[in-house]
Structure 1
Amino acid sequence: MANRGQRQSGATRTAPRNRRSQRRVDDEGLLPVLARAVREIENAVRRGPVPMSTRSRFQAVGLLVREERTRVKADPELNDNQRGEQLKRLDGIATILAQSAARDSTLFTLLEPDAVVSDESSLLKREMLTAAGVVPAPEPEAPADDQAPAAPVDRRVIPQAVVSRQLANPFLAPDFSAVDERREPQTRRLSTWELIGPLLSSFERASDGAVASMGLPEPASLQIGKGPELMKHQAEVVEGAAAGHRTFLLADEPGLGKTAQALLAAEAAGAFPLLVVVPNVVKTNWAREAELWTPHRPVTVIHGDGHNIDGFADIVVVNYEVLDRHVGWLGHFGFRGMVLDEAHFIKNASSQRSRHVLALSEQIRTRHPRPLLMALTGTPLINDIEDFRAIWRFLGWIDAKKPGPALMGRLEETGLTPLDGGFYPAARQSVIDLGIVRRRKVDVASDIPARRIADIPVELDDDEGRSIREAERDLARRLVSRYERAAEARREAGHAVDAIDEDLIGKVAAWERDETTEKTGENVFTMVRRIGRAKAGLAADYTAQLARSVGKVVFFAKHVDVMDAAEATFAKRGIRSTSIRGDQTPAARQKAIDGFVNDPDVGVVVCSLSAAGVGLNLQVASNVVLAELSWTDAEQMQAIDRVHRIGQEEPVTAWRIIAAQTIDSTIVELIDSKAGLAARALDGSDEELGADHDVQVKALAALLRSALTERA
């Protein structure tokens, strides 16, 4: 009989000969090994900053606890008492892990489903299994560090529109005219040195206040083409690209317009076609921004298998989640530039996502002599300085083992080696001069308004999103039917009725609004609530990115289930949060406020628009996420004013999450048409919107008008 207490999936163990020997093996088995390891982790975390060795041990113990729990629950040879006792011991170990992670919330990220298991964690895990008497299963052979594994063949696709483009340009060839520019520099002193470690270390050694941004030229103008006027810090990057600079790690804080800078830098560099790789939550926003800043450049967004893309577009936007399906044809498309948004997504260079990105970057650099490569992130470092490595590889500054030609040349020019004291500041400056740009809101405060709203459109492309759009069509059909009955009644009474009668549209919309409530069938109220629930995860993900990038964030929602979903997401991402709700006692409410304001480990406060929209001071944050829309601009402005208050020292940005291709977009247009979006974006005008009843009726009228127009 196998050892019932310590059997592992993927591992084997010699069976004990009797129960007495089994008890002895259990006493020296996996649970005691895990208990000793978790105490070591607890002690190390209490001592201060968590070293990499402890992080690796934390990940190994967490994975083993997870696997052992699954095994114990499924083991048919355990009786209820045995199973309960082992699960109780595992819970104790997990509790200590959680308490340790509460001291350093970044530890939670090591146990996320997509977290990459480091080599050191894998080794520690095998050592603990061996110490427990378990023979670990052989590990699969890893691919070479400089090779990107092919995506599964059955997932790769080539959209028909891409085939059409290839047939239209059958002789498109790579440009190797400037291959000499990529030749290895003449190396003398540094040819035998290991330099990647010292380069990374040079950033750790930098003193407070050390320059962290390359020098950029003064812009000749803030007006680029016929688009909106740029802010000075944006125009500097565009001017740099126009002057010939081709690689940028653009690490501006959120809210400083990195998207516009990237698009106009591509225009200045002639870097089209341009590939843009982004998180799913912002890909629709990229298409909208491209239409705003580069309206003469066709843009296409890849959804799923890409059946509806424009193969002749100048700008191709794809999200990380579907990159594996398209990496094949993207590598041969002939891109002259590539932008990586939220570039910290590739911090783990061994993940499949990162390997695809790095392979595409290498193919673009091989096919074109001087492509534009831009890594955009407000969070260049998530855990430690090693997170720089993959981003530098994407930009071509280093490869898997050594600096690239341009960086090596700069290091040789210093005349120094890592043994020289002056090497580290010189090396750091050499990297910065390759293209690191970092500006904070407070650094460019004169360029930006004291308060602004930035819209983030999101695609609801799952089953719930499709269900919402079908429900909207049902609502529109009901409105059309009601309109037709009313029109027929008017004609019978001898009144003339236009095919699209604005007066009648308004009356039908008002009737619909007055005769329905949130509890009676599918209507404007239930539609908005369903959209809010569908956006919750995307809004929370974006908030988590902000919290890791710029610190504390205030998250507003209208409904309790959206708040619950957001808090669950934050917990999963290892971000501590608190909440302010309508059903709290005054004491509980104040405790939540104090926790957010005073505890540096609390990154997000989840607020009810109705319960927390007034009477609070949350100016410890300067970023607000509006996960659900209000019916009036006044309500959302009151929410923003919890942060934008006297004493606030930083510009405030409110990120409004909008579900594209739904009534959400209509509502926000109605609100902005009355409040004046331009005034709000420039000077924070508090112009009154009018009653929420008016917006609801107009939203229904817009839905009806659109349906009548499509039918006409």
Structure 2
Amino acid sequence: MTQSASAELQLQQQQQQRQQQQQHHHRQHQQQQPQQQHRGERIAAASHSIGLAAASPCIQPKKPKWRIRNLTHEVELCLGNAELKRAKLEHQRLEEARSFADQDARRVRADLGSALSVHGRGPLQGETLAEMCKLAERQDASASCAWAAGQDTERELRRQVVAMPPGPELVSASEELRAVHAELGSLQREAAKTQRQLEGARNAVRANRDLHLALAKQAECARQLAAVKSRLKCFQSDPVLTELVRAEGILEDVPPVVVHVKASKELVHLARAGQLPDLGVISGLVEAEWALSFVGAVDGVEEVGNVAELTLPLAPILKALEACPPGNARDEVVLALTPSSDEGAPPTRYFAVRAMAMRQMLQHASQGPVCVPSCIELLRVAMGLSQKVRLQRTVREVLDSALRAKRSGQSQAVPANLTAQLRNYQLQGFQWLASNARNGVGSILADDMGLGKTLQTITLLQHLREIGRIGPGKHALVVAPFSVLSCWHREILRWAPDLRCHVYHGKQRSAQLVSDEDGGASSADVLLTTYGTMQVDEEKLCADSKFACIVLDESQVIKNPRSLTSKAAKNLAKACGSSCVRVALSGTPIENRLLELHSLFEFLNPGFLGSREDFASTFEKPIQKVANTSSSEGQVSASAGRNKLLGSELLGRLGRAIAPFMLRRMKSDRSIAPELPEKLELQHFVELAPEQRRLYAALAELGLKRVLAPSGEGGEEQPRTTALSRSQRAASVLGLLHKLQQLCNHPAALPAHHWPEGFESTQQLASKAASQSGKAARLLELLSEILEPPREKVLIFTQYLCTLEYLAGLVESSFAEVKAVRFHGGLSGAERDSAAASFSSDPSCAVMVLSLQAGGVGLSLTAATHVVHFDRCWNPAKESQATDRAHRIGQRGTVVVHRLTTSGTLEERLCAVLAGKKALATAALAPVSDFAAEDKAEAGEAHSGTEPVDAARAIADFSDKQLRELFRLSP
């Protein structure tokens, strides 16, 4: 009985525990009621906010979207998430109830097992055992019923959650949300409608303005047409005009352009048929103010040549005045000047002369002949370089379009006897040259180096011979540097074998000029000579004046108007007259200053750019001032900005003015030379050797003592009282500059008598070992890589003959299997040709050392794929010109350019100066070129490197502080 009582006691305890758990679940359910009430309050607040948002009249198109989005999110959280959370809690309660039922069943089974074990140890009453089994069965059935009831409850809850209808709060919030969306759509449609109305109003305003402008233009055209008709009607009533119409039929050939010469004492109308730009104007009667007006285009107008030397006789004017009826309201007559019987004379020109105050006009005219000058003044006006003549807008457009059309050239066929096959850009260049020659204006062919300027010019010469412009007795003169004279001769014989060519050079040239023998100068079509020969024989060549065409190759030689070479070229062109075709060939017309461009145009089209003083004050000085201001550190102000804008405008104006007379194409344009390989430029900075550094410091200090002011403390602005003191200073500065540059190359390249005291006996410096120079050591490293198999060829350029000889010897002593050839101004023409041929054809000849002045022009050395600039030149154009001896059409490999510069010396500071010069030349020529181009170079006769260029001479004007900064040796 004791054991039975304990079992019943355990069962009672378990029932009490179940009752306590049910009470706990009931309390949790009661706690959830306030949370549901709080959720209802949140739904009501969200619905109220939606109502306020919908009722607000000031809502903007973007704000409702933001508010609706937030409110919708809150409603979803309040409704959907709350119901889901309630279902989850109920499911959790049912899971706990099932867990408790499982625990009860396990306990009953445990009790039954313990009862059986007790029975096994001792006898049990049968009734007790039966009661315990029944109790266990009842508890097990009760647990199964609880489990089934829990499962049914869970399913019912899930069904209720799924089928739950929306509550009144959710329905209200949804309706308000749809109302806000509808209001937003209405606002958007209203905004789009307003935008369309605004755009329509703007279009109406523009159409109205365009209509007014069109009506005004139509009225102006009607007035001009009425004026023209009135004038023609008046002319038809004039008996003199009637007679001229009968004889010449001028009404059928009314010229398109009429020039009005206005003054207080005269009014002359000059009409001339023909193509622009060679349009003549009457001047010389009185001081005149010219203006131009456009009448209208007429088909069938005959082209004419240059009219620079045409004179207007007085007899036709007097005869026409006598025939003028006294009652003529316009008091005007029309004159016709018929051509002379000479072959090539210009055709008839027509003049309308007003008779008002004609007697006063004749009194002025009787003092001298009335001449018609060349077209230069009209060209200056058309290109915006002169303000003496006023052009109407229509006339300016006609002139501009006519001049611009010449850049592409007219449809001129290639000469039949030319053996070369021209590329497309070369054909265009020839047609452009032929067009300018036909219209009497000079041309600058400024193509990049290696694009075939020589071939295009030879094509022009062959064309001039075929049309009879050149031949025996009216030669074409080609002036070129001596180093390329033989190249010109070979190219002419190769591409134009019909042209009789003669080299006018050497001791026997005077006899050659007058010789009538076959192949002599007098029977030649083309004469080839050098700038030196032209300068020496200037008087003889000017006296003969048989040249119908003058070509200047490397025309930068005449960039200095004060040089004898420049004066000789311009005097020769002047003696040959305005009918002489003038062509200048140059990789770039600008190297250091814009005034160099003026000097070239004084040869081509004298007077086009005005006087040298006017050009300097109008263009050169303002542009250079802007360039100097831009290069100064800390120069930022409003005035600096205005000056920069002014400089850009002046450069653009100058570029547009010279564009019709200059043609420039660049190799960088892939449409010009697509097969040309790339060019890689490398900058190598090296250090001075220790002994070389000591010598540089001593030489710079000694040179500055001789250059600086007597006090030794020169300020920013050092006074220059006399021309002699400035000349002496310039000579000292330039001498020091060249000494230091040669020293940077190698101490052995500087003559020993230039060394300071205490260094004369230094045998280590006198040694020619490469270790005594950072540049020489770096050059040997480069050559070791370049000359390794497969061996490549290299060009080495330097300005100084001493350095040239040293480098040639260094290469020969360091590379026994390699042959180095020299090319400099001291070689004869035959020796130069032999050196170039040997380098191009001999595999063992892998190195050529050249003088920059003699070898930088006229050579085609495409066998080389490496170019080394051992020292830097003050003229960046010459460096580029030298580089293009290898990088030109015909080159098949990538060209690598090496520039050696010593760190901390004047060479390193020179790089900034060179960059400024290239930027100036590129900006000035940008409107001329159709492509963005880097600056290229000129070259002239070979010189020793001691002749100072303009940019280096400007260093003489540096202050003492600037000179110290230039020549100092950085640590």
Shorter-chain TM band:
0.3 to 0.5
Structure with larger Rg: 2
TM-score (norm 2): 0.28
Higher relative contact order (CA 8 A, sep 6+): 1
Normalized per residue, the structure richer in helix is 2
